[in-house]
Chains A and B, each alone.
Chain A
Amino acid sequence: MVPERRRPPEASSKSSCSMMSESPRNRKPDLPFAPFDSTNLWCGDRHGRSFLEFSPPLVTQSSGLFGPDRETKSKKQHEPSPVDDPVMDWNPRLMLSNLSFLEQKIHQVQDIVRSIISHEDQFLDQANELAAQQQLVTADLTYIIIQLISTAGTLLPDIKNALLSTNPAVGRPGSNQKQHEILPVEVAKASQYDSLVKDLNSCGGNEDELIKCSNNSGVDASEPIPIEDHDTKDNDDGMDGENLPPGSYEVLQLEEEEILAPHTHFCLICGKGFKRDANLRMHMRGHGDEYKSPAALAKPSKEASIEPQPLRRYSCPFVGCKRNKEHKKFQPLKTILCVKNHYKRSHCDKSYTCSRCRTKKFSIIADLKTHEKHCGRDKWICSCGTTFSRKDKLFGHVALFQGHAPAIPMDDAKVLVTSDKAQVSEASSGMPGNMGYNFSGNTSLDAQSPDIKGVDDGHGCFSPMTLDACNIWGLAEFPHSAYEVSESTFSFLATGSCSSIQRNGEN
Chain B
Amino acid sequence: MAKSRDLCRRIDRSDGFATLTLDLFSGSPNPNPCSYSRSAKRVRVSCVSPAAAAAEENRSNPFDSLSEEVLFLILDRLESDPLDKKSFSLVCRSFYAAESRHRRALTPLRSGLLPAALARYPSVSRLDLSLCPSVTDAALASVGGALRSSLRSIDLSRSRGFSYAGIESVAVNCAALVEINLSNATDLSDAAAAAIGRARNLEKLWLARCKMVTDMGIGCIAVGCQKLRLLCLKWCLGISDLGVGLVAVKCKQLRSLDLSFVPITEKCLPAVLQLPHLEDLALVGCLSIDDEGLMSVKQESKSLQVLDMSNCQHVNHAGFSSLLSKTPGLREISLAYYCKVTHSLASSLQKLYNLQSIKLDGCEVTTSGLKTMANSCRSLGELSLSKCSGVTDEGLSFFVTKHKGLVKLDVTCCRNITDLSLASITSSCTSLTNLSMESCILVSREGFRLIGQHCHLLEELDLTDNDLDDEGLRAISGCHNLSVLKIGICLKISDEGLIHVAKGCPNLQELDLYRSVGITDIGVMAIARGCPLLQIINLSYCTEVTDYSLRSLSKCSNLNTLEIRGCQVSSSGLAVVAVGCRKLTKLDIKKCYFVDDAGMLLLARFSQNLRQINLSYCSVTDVGLLALASVSCLQNMTILHSGGLTSNGLAAVLVACGGLTKVKLHSSFKPLIPKPILEHVEARGCLFQWRDKPFQVELEPSEVWKQQSQEMHV
Contacts and interface: CB of A to CB of B under 8 A. Distances in A.
A490 B245 CA distance: 10
B163 interface: yes
B362 interface: no
B222 to A, nearest CB: 8
A371 B193 CA distance: 32
Given A405-B219, A408-B216, A427 B240 contact: yes
B688 interface: no
Contact of A439 (B187, B190, B245, B288): B245
Contact of A490 (B189, B212, B249, B267): B249
A437 B241 contact: yes
Contacts of B189: 413, 416-417, 420
Interface in A387-410: 391-392, 395, 398-399, 403-406, 408, 410
B271 A490 contact: yes
Nearest to B217: A408
A400 to B, nearest CB: 9
Nearest to A428: B263
Contacts of A427: 214-215, 238, 240
A405 B223 contact: yes
A488 interface: yes
Given A395-B246, A427-B215, A437-B267, A413 B238 contact: no
A435 interface: yes
A379 B163 CA distance: 24
Contacts of B212: 417, 420-421, 424
B270 interface: yes
B197 A405 contact: yes
A439 B271 contact: yes
B265 interface: yes
Interface string B448-472: 0000000000000000000000000
A431 interface: yes
Interface string A415-440: 01100110110011001000101110
A404 B245 CA distance: 15
A485 to B, nearest CB: 13
Interface string B134-146: 0000000000000
A437 to B, nearest CB: 5
A69 B325 CA distance: 64
B299 interface: yes
Contacts of A408: 190-191, 193-194, 216-217, 220
B250 A406 contact: no
Contacts of A395: 215, 219, 242-243, 245-246
Contacts of A437: 241-242, 245, 267
Interface in B669-690: none
A436 to B, nearest CB: 8
Nearest to A403: B223
A431 B240 CA distance: 8
A392 B268 CA distance: 12
Residue among A405, A417, A488 facing the most chain B CB atoms (10 A cut-off): A405
A424 B214 contact: yes
Interface residues of B, number: 39
B125 to A, nearest CB: 28
B223 A404 contact: yes
B515 to A, nearest CB: 46
Contacts of A438: 241, 245, 267-268, 270
A413 B191 contact: yes
A403 B163 CA distance: 25
Contacts of A410: 191, 194
A63 B576 CA distance: 121
A417 B213 CA distance: 10
Contact of B164 (A398, A406, A413, A488): A413
B224 A405 contact: yes
B245 to A, nearest CB: 5
B267 A435 contact: yes
A427 B240 CA distance: 8
B483 to A, nearest CB: 46
B691 interface: no
Given A416-B189, A420-B190, A490-B271, A406 B238 contact: no
Contacts of A421: 212
B220 A405 contact: yes
B298 interface: yes
A315 to B, nearest CB: 36
Contacts of A435: 241, 265, 267
A435 to B, nearest CB: 5
Contacts of B243: 395
Nearest to B245: A439
B237 interface: yes
Contacts of B268: 438
A388 B270 CA distance: 25
Contacts of B265: 431, 435
B299 A488 contact: yes
B274 interface: yes
Interface in A1-58: none
Contacts of B216: 406, 408, 423
20 contacts: A395-B242, A399-B249, A404-B223, A406-B219, A408-B191, A408-B217, A416-B189, A416-B191, A420-B214, A420-B238, A423-B216, A431-B240, A437-B245, A437-B267, A438-B245, A439-B271, A487-B270, A488-B270, A488-B274, A488-B299
Interface of A: 391-392, 395, 398-399, 403-406, 408, 410, 413, 416-417, 420-421, 423-424, 427-428, 431, 435, 437-439, 487-488, 490
Given A423-B216, A438-B270, 8 more contacts: A408-B193, A413-B189, A420-B214, A424-B214, A424-B237, A424-B238, A488-B270, A488-B299
Interface of B: 163-164, 187, 189-191, 193-194, 197, 211-212, 214-217, 219-220, 223-224, 237-238, 240-243, 245-246, 249-250, 263, 265, 267-268, 270-271, 274, 288, 298-299
In the A-B complex, list the 4 residue pairs whose CB atoms are closest, starting with the nearest: A405-B223, A406-B219, A424-B238, A413-B191
